[in-house]
Chain A
Amino acid sequence: RKEVEQDPGPFNVPEGATVAFNCTYSNSASQSFFWYRQDCRKEPKLLMSVYSSGNEDGRFTAQLNRASQYISLLIRDSKLSDSATYLCVVPRGVWNTDKLIFGTGTRLQVFP
């Protein structure tokens, strides 16, 4: 299994739709997980962090399933401005949050 694996997409959804992305990881000892957002060829920016079962911030919900070793990102009521690539990030170690492994990203395209 790859250290971090994401479905590259693209996910093409209409405005107002709910969309979910999954990310699987291989390091069962990881404690913290992150979702970053990257607009086309711009720098990634932190969207959400997850270090318990889940986290919610407005229309965005991140959930963690340790047994199956995946994290998910749910976006409700999609906006055109949500169009971007979403990067899953997992630490390589246990408490070692220095070495962060980035997934290749899932591209989301929201259309009118």
Chain B
Amino acid sequence: EAQVTQNPRYLITVTGKKLTVTCSQNMNHEYMSWYRQDPGLGLRQIYYSMNVEVTDKGDVPEGYKVSRKEKRNFPLILESPSPNQTSLYFCASLHRYDQGLAGYNEQFFGPGTRLTVL
């Protein structure tokens, strides 16, 4: 089954304790992304990766790190979590259909990780 998996699904931690949220996809997609979702703010992109060893900042990268050592995995690292990073996090991989110049694509999202930083 084609899917994006994330772990853990739920995490409560304390300020300053480093954590990693794993993300894995089995669709051989080149492009992967991390989002956070907060009430009233919608989904905001944290980091994205266009291929192995290629990563770039999204709109809200502060306080996060990522790596892309292999195509299927794209972990999100919080070196020193703070309460303002309490959020719902989604990993996504993107399939490009590339119909002419329209650039049609579809993002497949993981089930989400609900993070609480105390």
* Chain A minimum-CB-distance residue to B96: A97
B90 within 8 A of A: yes
Q: Is B45's CB under 8 angstroms from A99's CB?
A: yes
Q: Is B102's CB under 8 angstroms from A51's CB?
A: yes
Mark out the residues of chain B between 74 and 90 whose CB falls within 8 Å of any chain A CB in the assembled complex.
88, 90
Q: Is the interface of B mostly helix, strand, loop or mixed?
A: strand
Contacts A42-B112, A43-B111 given; indicate if A102 touches B102 (C-beta within 8 A).
no
Contacts A104-B40, A105-B42 given; indicate if A43 touches B101 (C-beta within 8 A).
no
Task: For chain A, give the interface size range.
Answer: 20 to 34
For the complex, give the distance between the alpha carbons of A104 and B41 in Å: 6
Contacts of B96 in A (CB 8 A): 97
CB distance from B51 to the nearest CB of A (A): 11
A-B contacts, CB under 8 A, total: 59
Contacts of A109 in B (CB 8 A): none
A72 within 8 A of B: no
For the complex, give the distance between the alpha carbons of A97 and B43 in Å: 16
Chain B proximity mask over A91-105: 1 for CB below 8 Å, otherwise 0: 100010111101111
Q: Is A43's CB under 8 angstroms from B112's CB?
A: yes
Chain A proximity mask over B79-118: 1 for CB below 8 Å, otherwise 0: 0000000001010001010010111111101111010000
A45 within 8 A of B: yes
Contacts of B112 in A (CB 8 A): 41-43
A residues adjacent to B (C-beta < 8 A): 4, 31-32, 36, 41-46, 49, 51, 87, 91, 95, 97-100, 102-105
